[in-house]
Amino acid sequence: MDLHLTKDTPSAAERLAVDSVLGESGLGRSDGVTSAALVGHEAAAGHAARANRHLLLPVLHAIQERMGWISHGALNYACQRLTIPPTEAYGVATFYALFSVQPKPPIVAHVCDDIACMANGAEQLCSEMTQRLGKAGTKSGAGSVTWHRSPCLGMCERAPAAMITAAGKRPSTTVVAPANGAAIERILEDEKHEEPPLVESQTMGSVPQAGSAELRLLRRMSRIDPDSIASYRAAGGYQALTRALELGPEQIVREVAASKLMGRGGAAFPAGIKWRSVASAAARPHYMVCNADESEPGTFKDRVVLEEDPFAVVEAMTIAGIATGCEKGFIYLRGEYPLALARMTNALAQARAAGLLGGSILGNTMSFDIEIRRGAGAYICGEETALFNSIEGFRGEPRNKPPFPTEVGLFGKPTLVNNVETLINVLDIVLEGSEAYAAIGTEQSTGTKLFCLSGHVARPGVYEVPFGTSLLALIELAGGVAGSGNMQAVLLGGAAGTFLTPQELDTPLTFESTRAIGATLGSGVVMVFDDTVNMQRVLLRVAAFFRDESCGQCVPCRVGTVRQEELLNRLFAEKTIGSTEDELHLLNDIGQAMRDASICGLGQTASSAIESAARVGLFNGRKH
Amino acid sequence: MGSESELSELQPTWQFLNPIPQGPLPTIPEPAAAPEVELIIDGRETSVPTGSTLLQATKSLGIETPTLCYLENLTPVNACRVCVVELEGSRTLVPACSRKVEAGMQVQTDSPRVRLSRRMVLEFLASSVDVSTAPELQQYMGQYAAEPERYGPSGPPALGNERDAAVPGHHVAPDGATAGTVEQPVKIDNELYIRDYSKCILCYKCVEACGEDAQNTFAIAVAGRGFDARIATEYTVPLPDSACVYCGNCIGVCPTGALMFRSEYEMREAGTWDESAQSETDTICSYCGVGCNLQLHIQDNEIVKVMSPIESGVTQGHLCIKGRFGWQFMQQPKKK
């Protein structure tokens, strides 16, 4: 392949931004070889440079953060350094919502208008923003500021939320929740004057149960200093790793399998089967990936764990790596989680310094290290194979399965992918043994589960309860229905989940009993809507979300999500084509085609919440 | 490695580990036939070689399976999903074009679920894309009783480069009165071929042919996301500014006429394109020693386009700029 570049050249600042990730370079050679004879004749350094394609996403982040957008010259330079055809890099840069390939003001307020925030005044906030800064997308502050609407920012317990990104020499990402126009504008002003914005502590109150003796996964919440490994160890941290090294890989895998731990990311796949497959896979190396790309609307449990107990995630990943023969792990972290990024970055550094990460862990022969990779605003990258493509520097499009990641995963190698919450369960399984662990919960759903309560509940936040607790008991634990006090519906499992009626609240929260009523626990979302909420608007937002987040690769999802949104709009506006029954029939057909024929879980579940809403009679708007 | 003197000391002790064999030359054994896999398709037992796809297996039974993004000379991307079949034990339907056979599979190729998904895929495409020059797709639409009009009349076309500038994660909320489409102005920026992305079903074939599967030029790729995803050069520059080498292999694989010889496009615009009046002449390209098979499409004694048969062992359907476009010397310059 000959690399063909347009004539656009990078500015000094853009060049520095790229070099900050790839190192300095004389001639774009990653090996540093410089020769005057090569000027103009060689763009890059063959295999060595091409092997670094996985650095494309970090490079794009660096350019975006420095410049506020990715210019042709900057992208050309990145392509030259990495030997990537510019058309492919352009395809990647235009895939992510947090990147812009058109000039854009450096300071951007992303105001969440997704469903949890919607139930907490997001529309009022957006109209306040319009009053202060003009219509979404317009420039203000002498062209340095703009704002636009954003999908769920994962701050649902303190809705409504906003995120301010400021590009420049001192780039920053600030989340403000609960947000109001004045608070957002204050931060924008600080950023304009290049002052670090003052924001109060982010996680206070996110775990209303904090301190309770019944907590297991959340037992350290508010009890340790999340920035201190000493504090984590004093609270019993790293005992599980010590125990794991005594057990050895095979025994760890046996314990995880015997515990019947099921994946907590939404698909509920038995973790033991994955671990065993990767551990026994012949191809080398093996990779471990922690999926922290939590983007399901209404989900924030992983964020709270990453922010408040980051060492637990590092320890659990280390155990997983040792058990399955991985020497390298990645945390794929949502781009919208700045505090989690800071805490995890610090945790990795401290763990390395303490000899708990890197070569010869705890003096043992095992070695394992972890790298953080940030997403850039694409829900689809939470799908495991899309996540691999994203890390590898390709568009975040899911791959066809089989082959499954345990055989052909990241970089084509056997890969263990687990969600954050799934992983931290392993600590107790290793420490207590699978039998004690499996004694909690129900026969088929063992252990405890984190739930994200938001919307109209008195005390929103992350809650931990044993499997089998009823939905009603969980909502009561969160102080019951807030708002008007009259519940209209509950969304269980997220935008890819199902709506339940107040009559279904006695459902025990287990994988098996939710499946029996055609629902799913999904990512643990429990979003309560009181009877003042216009459910039609909620459903339109869900439909718009899937239309926005479809990667566009397969026809059923790419066009189906568009047709679904169009249909709901005309149905709710009572401008149907043919009769209402015709439209409902068509909605069913669209849903079934997406469910049956889409490549990945996004398309397969894009109609789930909407179809369930139709079933329980939420299409008629306000119900009193 | 030892020094020279050490080596010379060692030399006398060298021996042939494998003495030169005597007697007749060994014969090369016939390649063993791949072991067969048994499966049941539409109730019929069949066996096909290991590693076959379900598409190959259905074909061996004479079962027609519609395909759009599949082509023998490209890696399956299984993006169009029109070839899905029902596999017992699988929660979702599976793409026949890329799913490998496994022993004991039970497959339905014409169940109500299969027919519905195929019909919906065709409706989704025909309601959002101009399929007027996609005869295969139209034929499938008849076969599966697709009714693209049930999504309402087509929405307004995108103006200028609106679709190229679409931002991921944002769109204007529709009112549902019309069905959104990908209609947009045709891209004419060179003498050899045009790109009419109003006709693009995003099958990825052109991207594969331009990239790893044939040409290794990487002039085009998919950009954007979701319904706004599109085939684009870097920064959507015109083709002459891109890496394009005008091999035309993207035209060769395009199933919908979105990529078209400029000669064909202009004749269609002028209303003079008439396939019934065309003949095809097979010949060999005279430019170099490779000897690529050419198939000249001729109308009124003039070449109007050049393809290469996909079955050709030399080209597998792919050509270079000379074979594809270098035939102007054969005929008078076209009267403008």
Write the ipTM: 0.94
Specify whether the CB–CB gap between A74 and A132 falls below 8 A.
no
Residues within 8 A of A (CB atoms), B 124-143 only: 124-125, 127-128
Which residues of chain A fall below pLDDT 70?
1, 26-46, 198-204, 621-624
CATH of the domain at A575: 1.20.1440.230
pLDDT at A624: 37
B152 touches chain A (CB under 8 A): yes
- Residue B90: closest CA among chain A residues belongs to which residue? A596
B179 touches chain A (CB under 8 A): yes
**Listed residue (B66, B220, B203, B217) closest to B146, CA to CA:** B66
Q: How far, in Å, are A200, A217, A450, B9, B253 from residue A305 at the CA level?
A: 19, 9, 10, 69, 50
- Residue B153: closest CA among chain A residues belongs to which residue? A577
The pLDDT mean for chain B works out to 93
Note whether A517 and A542 are same-domain residues: no
- Give the residue extent of every domain in chain B: 182-330
**Listed residue (A464, A496, A484) closest to A529, CA to CA:** A484
- Residue A89: closest CA among chain B residues belongs to which residue? B234
B326 touches chain A (CB under 8 A): no
On the 0-12 / 13-18 / 19+ scale of CB atoms within 10 A, B252 is buried
- Residue A546: closest CA among chain B residues belongs to which residue? B226
Contacts of B217 in chain A (CB under 8 A): 1-2
Note whether A550 and A602 are same-domain residues: yes
Give A44→chain B minimum CA distance, Å. 16
A558 touches chain B (CB under 8 A): yes
Contacts of B54 in chain A (CB under 8 A): none
Residue A220 lies in a domain: no
pLDDT at B329: 85
Give A359→chain B minimum CA distance, Å. 32
B44 touches chain A (CB under 8 A): no
Using CA atoms of B62, B63, B64, B70 in order, give the dihedral in degrees to the nearest 10.
-90
Note whether A462 and A580 are same-domain residues: no
Where a domain ends, among A26, A58, A93?
A93
Encode pLDDT of B31-44 as tens digits. Answer: 777 789 999 999 99
A580 touches chain B (CB under 8 A): no
pLDDT at B23: 81
- Residue A597: closest CA among chain B residues belongs to which residue? B93
Count of structural domains, chain A: 5
| Closest residue to B173, CB basis, from A544, A555, A578 | A544
Q: Test B243 with A2 for CB contact under 8 angstroms.
A: yes
On the 0-12 / 13-18 / 19+ scale of CB atoms within 10 A, A68 is buried
Residue A552 identity (one-letter amino acid): G
Note whether A159 and A27 are same-domain residues: no
List, as one string, the DSSP characters of A396-427.
Answer: -PPPPSSSPTTTS-GGGS-EEEEEHHHHHHHH
A123 touches chain B (CB under 8 A): no
pLDDT at A318: 98
DSSP A79: H
Q: Test B226 with A548 for CB contact under 8 angstroms.
A: yes
Average pLDDT, stretch B251-267?
Answer: 97
- Helices A56-67, A72-82: inter-axial angle, 10-degree rounding: 150
Encode pLDDT of B126-171 as tens digits. Answer: 999 999 999 999 999 999 999 999 999 999 999 999 999 999 999 9
Q: CB neighbours of B216 closer than 8 A, spacing ≥ 6?
A: A1
Q: What is the β-pairing status of strands B221-223 and B230-232?
A: antiparallel
Give A112→chain B minimum CA distance, Å. 12
Using CA atoms of A314, A320, A325, A331 in order, give the dihedral in degrees to the nearest 10.
-50
- Residue A556: closest CA among chain B residues belongs to which residue? B121
Note whether A139 and A159 are same-domain residues: yes
Q: Test A558 with B227 for CB contact under 8 angstroms.
A: yes
pLDDT at B17: 66
Q: Test A562 with B174 for CB contact under 8 angstroms.
A: yes
- Helices A420-432, A301-308: inter-axial angle, 10-degree rounding: 60
Q: CB neighbours of A101 closer than 8 A, spacing ≥ 6?
A: A69, A70, A75, A90, A93, A94, B235
Average pLDDT, stretch B261-278?
Answer: 97
A583 touches chain B (CB under 8 A): no
Residue A213 lies in a domain: no
Specify whether the CB–CB gap between A375 and A334 falls below 8 A.
yes
* DSSP H stretches of helix in A156-270: 181-192, 229-234, 239-247, 249-258
Supply the range of the domain harboring residue A610.
Answer: 535-620
| Closest residue to A555, CB basis, from B124, B173, B233 | B124
Q: CB neighbours of A264 closer than 8 A, spacing ≥ 6?
A: A419, A421, A422, A425, A449, A450, A523, A524
Token pair 């045009």 in the structure block, residue: B194
Where a domain ends, among A530, A556, A577?
A530
3-state SS record for chain B: CCCHHHHHHHHHHCCCCCCCCCCCCCCCCCCCCCCEEEEEECCEEEEEECCCEHHHHHHHCCCCCCCCCCCCCCCCCCCCCCCEEEECCCCCCEECCCCECCCCCEEECCCHHHHHHHHHHHHHHHHHCCCCCCHHHHHHHHHCCCCHHHHCCECCCCCCCCHHHCCCCCCCCCCCCCECCCCCCCECCCCCEEECHHHCCCCCHHHHHHCCCCCCCCCCEEECCHHHCEEECHHHCCHHHCCCCCCCHHHHHCCCCCEEEHHHHHHHHHCCCCHHHEEEEEEECCCCCCCCEEEEEEECCEEEEEECCCCCCCCCCCCCHHHHHCCHHHCCCCCC
CA atoms within 13 A on the CB side of B7: 4
Taken as a whole, chain B contains a residue count of 336
Q: Test A577 with B150 for CB contact under 8 angstroms.
A: yes
Where a domain ends, among A479, A497, A530?
A530
Residue A202 lies in a domain: no
Partner residues linked to A331 by β-bridges: A290, A372
Note whether A71 and A170 are same-domain residues: no
Encode pLDDT of A496-536 as tens digits. Answer: 999 999 999 999 999 999 999 999 999 999 999 999 999 99
pLDDT at A470: 97
Q: How far, in Å, are B216, B293, B315 from residue B312 at the CA level?
A: 20, 7, 6
Q: What is the largest CA-CA distance in chain B?
A: 92
Give B333→chain A minimum CA distance, Å. 32
Note whether A369 and A235 are same-domain residues: yes
* DSSP H stretches of helix in A281-419: 301-308, 310-323, 338-353, 384-392
Note whether A414 and A278 are same-domain residues: yes
Token pair 């800064």 in the structure block, residue: A133
Give A397→chain B minimum CA distance, Å. 10
CATH of the domain at A141: 3.40.30.10
Q: Report d(CA B195, CA A375) in Å as an integer.
A: 33
Residue A602 lies in a domain: yes
- Residue B202: closest CA among chain A residues belongs to which residue? A553
- Residue A568: closest CA among chain B residues belongs to which residue? B176
Contacts of B226 in chain A (CB under 8 A): 547-552, 558, 561
B121 touches chain A (CB under 8 A): yes
Q: CB neighbours of A99 closer than 8 A, spacing ≥ 6?
A: A60, A64, A69, A70, A93, A376, A377
- Residue A576: closest CA among chain B residues belongs to which residue? B177
For domain B182-330, is the CATH number 3.30.70.20? yes
B/e letters for A195-206, b = 16+ CB within 10 Å, e = fewer, are eebebeebbeeb
pLDDT at A11: 97
Contacts of A102 in chain B (CB under 8 A): 165, 167
A364 touches chain B (CB under 8 A): no
Contacts of A100 in chain B (CB under 8 A): 167
Residue A175 lies in a domain: yes
| Closest residue to A566, CB basis, from B117, B121, B174 | B174
pLDDT at B22: 78
Residue A583 lies in a domain: yes
Note whether A156 and A295 are same-domain residues: no
Contacts of A549 in chain B (CB under 8 A): 169, 226
Residue A255 lies in a domain: yes
Q: Report d(CA B134, CA B205) in Å as an integer.
A: 15
Token digits of residue A98: 């947090």
Contacts of A577 in chain B (CB under 8 A): 150-152
Contacts of A555 in chain B (CB under 8 A): 79-82, 121, 124-125, 201-202
- Helices A310-323, A338-353: inter-axial angle, 10-degree rounding: 60
pLDDT at A457: 97
Residues within 8 A of B (CB atoms), A 151-180 only: 151
Residue bearing the bigger pLDDT, A620 or B249: B249
Q: Report d(CA A273, CA A363) in Å as an integer.
A: 29
Q: Report d(CA A542, CA A609) in Å as an integer.
A: 8
DSSP A499: E
Encode pLDDT of B70-85 as tens digits. Answer: 999 999 999 999 999 9
Residue bearing the bigger pLDDT, A447 or B25: A447
Q: Test B227 with A595 for CB contact under 8 angstroms.
A: no
Encode pLDDT of B198-221 as tens digits. Answer: 999 999 999 999 999 999 999 999
CATH of the domain at A305: 3.40.50.11540
Q: Test A87 with B219 for CB contact under 8 angstroms.
A: yes
Note whether A78 and A143 are same-domain residues: no
Note whether A414 and A292 are same-domain residues: yes
| Closest residue to A395, CB basis, from B82, B222, B232 | B222
pLDDT at A323: 97
Note whether A38 and A163 are same-domain residues: no
